[in-house]
Amino acid sequence: MFKFPQEKQIIFVRKQPGLPLSMRVFSGGRLIYTKLFEDTAFDEDAPLVFCPGQDQCWQLFSTNEYTRSKDENFLIRLPFGFKLSENAKVTRLQEQWFKCSGSLAARHEDGREIIVAIRADTMGQTSLRGRLFYRYQNTDGLPVYRGFPTLQMPPDLSLTHIKINGKGQSNICPNYYGTFQVAFYSDKICLLRRRITVLPEDFSHTWQAASGKHPAILNVDTSENVSVAAFADHLNITQIHSQFTCQAEGGNYPSHIILAVGSNSTQAARLKLPLPFDGAYLYDENGRIDDCRLNINQLSGKWLMVYSSSSTSMELVFKLSDNTYSCPISITERLPAGGSVQQFFLDQWKPQLLQLLSCSSSQDAKVEITVHRMGSDKPLIRLVLSRYNGLIVWNNQFHRFGGLEETDALRESFVIKKQVASEYASPEAVVSVMRLDAPENGAQRLPESTEFIGGRYSLMSYDAGLWLIYPASESPVQFRPAIFDNSGEEFTEPSEHHSLHTAARAFHPIHNPEAISRIITEMAGNPEHAGWRYFESLKQHFSHLPLSVFETWKALVQQPKTLALAVLRLGLDGVFCERIRNELAVVWEWLAIQDWFAAVDAYRPYSRAKIAEAGLNPDDAPLTKICIPQNVLCHDEILHSYVFRGFLSEMEVMVVEGTIWEIFHKQHDSRYNRHYNALRQNENLRIPETLSDGLQQWLDKQQGSFFDQVRRLSKIHFDRAAVWLPVFTACVKTGKAHPNDIRPSEMTAAQFADAFYRIYALDAEWFDYVCATLSCHLMSE
């Protein structure tokens, strides 16, 4: 069951319009579902017909050779080589673009024709329809049809014949396979021309995985007479009929092979098949990766392939390592043995990895990802992920025993290195600096020092103050930021002040840890406080850095009332709020509704005043609920409206009460039960029980029929956290509970947030709808 974005329109720029659009759904890094949108690839040899749309925009209407339109006015882009008829009513806009006001015909010297007919009785467009083979990926991105597709067209048209690569066929649905161009005709009119890939309906393949010195064996099966061949770099492939033996050179197997399938070898489809090799390996588009140390921004385009040829299951383990906690935080997932290749796309793990890193106060924290067989401690692969892929080494530091040690010399200059043990500085690094008490000045590029050699940098000639040294956004080496104080004397904080700029200068994690939080407290309920300008500057100039670099962001999220106002005052969108969730261990679901009420009440008059200052009428631009992203309010439309309005409509009350009945009565076919049963039946997941005892103790203290029904939601001992945490969260949101009511005493705030998200991630949609419904119910009582 998938939950798609609520937006009615998604706008994006297509860099490769020749490829079709697709939607992919991932779970735990795995690709579990692909939806390919047919007829979304733009062929250079096909027309593009646009009709007038909303907001004075042109909307793509057809890419067919024959188009019927009710609108006399349309826009068309003709392929090169086509010439318009002399009586065409057109205005040329660019070389191949025309604005038209009537029917149109264009002809190519090779006989091809494009027709746009204006007809009031238009009954739909002609389109290609067929079953897609989602199992197979074509190297050129074309959709792969399972059997020859058919043509869907208006009832007054009939399909008379087809041509494949310009040659007429005796059958309109031939047994023809591979990648080729097909044209569909109604008498002399070409209705549609497409380049497609077709495989036999019964086409399938099986693998015997490579293991040690044993090669991988591929068997291809189909009852149709097709040509089959296999190719791969650095792979010796022997073919006997439809069986391929694949032996790697030196045992270094590629991640994929190319399987060519078609009615003839010249027009064969090129399919990309994952090659199973016993073990676990990291790949990118260039092949296998041996260096498994990555930073959090190097995940895109990389995937982990895991295969077990034995009956022994494997375990995938994420472990936070920062030498802070005696018992490291770890997450374990069982990978069942089944003889199939499992691919994990690393970029899909990014939110989970950021949340793990946020559980540590150290910027040097790392997450180790290992895969090992059940019962074995020896990992098949170990990936080490951190926030950074470089570090600053000062002139008074030297490498020893795997770390850095310092001498008594003054810090005067530094170099950037990729590894602590590296002998030379990294010449690719691009270094910037900022004054922590003046972020409005923006970034300043720090050039290499002319006084020191060897790629050294120095801040000795800069103004006295507290400087943050950090990598520029375009720097290939994203090194760990560091703070340098080049003041000649110790800074003394004024006894009374209200400046976040001053507080940022005065902050010290040991000697003055409350400097920033005191000012953040003052900012709650006050959108005119000067401290907001400090955050505006950070957001404008330094958003590419991890938010945890700045003590101001870390202090802000510790104060819910100020955080709620920050969403409105700083115009934080859903993407930025997700960054706060992932990078700073914020549980938005625990932000009380009363804090949102207070934030809206404080911000509304401020917003009106600012609009009036601009010479506009505030009544013409009222504050709307879109100023609060829906993803911080359980992705729920009713809760979103309630927070902004302060009450529920009669219809909304009916919806909420109907859902409450559905939750507590647990009918077999209810939405609640479907999600619950899917959760229980997922063999790869173990429901975390970390918060179960705390929830049980809290619930035991609650009285009333509502909580009696809540107790009965738990069907078995180990499901308590999964079914009770959404209810508890609704109580926190409505002021009837506090997160610390269930927090184990030994947990830090970040570890507690991590425990919450382990349960939330089991089924976020289910969690959101239960929490939002109960929040509205409890507030309306």
Looking at residues 345-372, what average pLDDT do you find?
Answer: 91
CB atoms within 10 A of CB 780: 14
- Judge contact between 585 and 359, C-beta under 8 A: yes
User: What residue type is 591 in one-letter code?
Assistant: L
Find the DSSP H helices in 52-99.
none
Cβ atoms of residues 319 and 379 within 8 Å = no
Handedness of CA 246, 248, 251, 256 (dihedral sign): negative
Region 456-485: mean pLDDT is 91
Evaluate whether 169 touches 163 at the Cβ level (below 8 Å): yes
Q: Is the pLDDT of residue 204 over 80?
A: yes
Read off the pTM: 0.79
Residue 297 corresponds to which amino acid?
A: N
Strands 303-307 and 279-284: antiparallel
Pick 326 or 172 by higher pLDDT.
172
Give bridge partners of residue 282 from the DSSP assignment. 289, 304
Supply the DSSP symbol for 443: -
Q: Which of 85-89, 218-222, 605-609 bottoms out in mean pLDDT, i.e. has the lowest?
A: 85-89
Q: What is the mean pLDDT of residues 6-21?
A: 70
Lookup: tokens for 4: 């798609």
Q: What is the pLDDT of residues 217-268, one digit of tens each?
A: 999 999 999 999 999 988 999 999 999 999 987 777 888 899 999 999 999 9
pLDDT at 56: 75
**pLDDT, mean over the chain:** 88
Q: Look at residue 325 and tell me whether its pLDDT is greater than 70.
A: no
Model confidence pLDDT, tens digit, residues 498-545: 899 999 999 988 888 999 999 999 999 999 999 999 999 999 999 999
Task: Count CB atoms within 10 A of the CB of residue 70.
Answer: 11
- The candidate with the shortest Cα–Cα distance to 166, out of 193, 142, 198, 140, is 193
Asked whether the predicted pLDDT for residue 92 surpasses 50, the reply is yes
Terminal C-alpha separation, the chain? 31
Q: Please choose, from the candidates 686, 695, 680, 674, the residue with its C-alpha nearest in 3D space to the C-alpha of residue 742.
A: 695
As a whole number of angstroms, the distance between CA 542 and CA 471 comes to: 10
pLDDT at 278 over 60: yes
pLDDT of residue 1: 43
Q: Which residue has the tokens 């409890």?
A: 778
**Which residue's entry shows tokens 């065409």?**
88
- Contact 432/472 with Cβ under 8 angstroms? yes
Helix residue spans in 273-320 (DSSP H): none
pLDDT category of residue 687 using cuts at 50, 70 and 90:
confident
**If you average pLDDT over residues 154-183, what whole number do you get?**
90
Domains of the chain: 48-118 (no CATH), 279-386 (2.60.40), 391-485 (2.60.40), 500-627 (no CATH), 633-780 (no CATH)
Distance CA 114, CA 127 (A): 16
Query: Residues 460-486: what's their mean pLDDT?
Result: 91
- Maximum Cα–Cα distance across the chain: 93
What confidence score (pLDDT) does residue 683 get? 56
Distance (Å, whole) CA 771 – CA 256: 44
Question: What pLDDT, on the 0 to 100 scale, is given for residue 327?
Answer: 60
Question: Amino acid identity of 277?
Answer: F
The mean per-residue pLDDT over the stretch 181-202 comes to 92
* Nearest partner of 193 among 69, 70, 268, 82, judged by Cα: 82
Helix (H, G, I), strand (E, B) or coil at 211: strand
pLDDT tier, 587 (very low <50, low <70, confident <90, very high otherwise): very high
Residue 771 has pLDDT above 60, yes or no: yes
Residues 6+ apart with CB under 8 A from 565: 523, 524, 525, 527, 598, 599, 602, 603
Over the stretch 627-666, which tens digit does the pLDDT of each residue have? 999 999 999 999 999 998 888 899 999 999 988 888 888 6
- Residue 296 vs residues 299, 351, 389, 540: alpha-carbon distances, Å: 6, 10, 9, 22
Nearest to 257 by CA among 241, 277, 279, 235: 235
Q: Pick the residue with more confidence: 361 or 176?
A: 176
Q: Which pLDDT band holds residue 2 (cuts at 50, 70, 90)? A: very low
Cα–Cα nearest to 597, from 575, 621, 559, 628:
628
Q: Which tokens go with 335?
A: 């990978």
Q: Quick one: pLDDT at residue 676? A: 82
Predicted local confidence at residue 376, as pLDDT: 86
DSSP characters for 44-94?
TTS-EEEEE-GGG-EEEEE-SSEEEES-SEEEEEPPTTEEE-TT--EEE-S
pLDDT of residue 697: 96
State residue 393's pLDDT score: 94
Pairing state of beta strands 293-295 and 381-386? parallel
Point out which residues pair with 150 in neighbouring strands: 129
Buried-exposed string 711-747: b where 16+ CB fall within 10 A, e elsewhere = eebbeeeebbbbbbbbbbbbbbbbeebebeebbeeeb
- 586-601 mean pLDDT: 96
> Which whole-number Å values give the CA distances from 581 to 33, 335, 359, in the listed order?
26, 28, 12
What is the gyration radius of the CA atoms in the chain, in angstroms? 31
Which of 122-131, 226-235, 442-451, 698-707 is least confident? 122-131
Nearest to 504 by CA among 405, 440, 557, 435: 435
Q: What is the pLDDT of residue 602?
A: 96
593-613 helix and 560-569 helix, angle to the nearest 10 degrees: 30
| Residue found by looking up tokens 């470089």 in the block | 390
Residue 487 to residue 489: CA distance in whole angstroms: 5
Four-residue CA torsion sign, 715, 719, 722, 728: positive
For the cut 50, the answer to whether the pLDDT of residue 86 exceeds it is yes
Closest CA to 475 of 462, 457, 459: 457
Residue 229: what pLDDT? 96
Contact 372, 315 (CB under 8 A): yes
Residue 470 binned pLDDT confidence (cut-offs 50, 70, 90)? very high
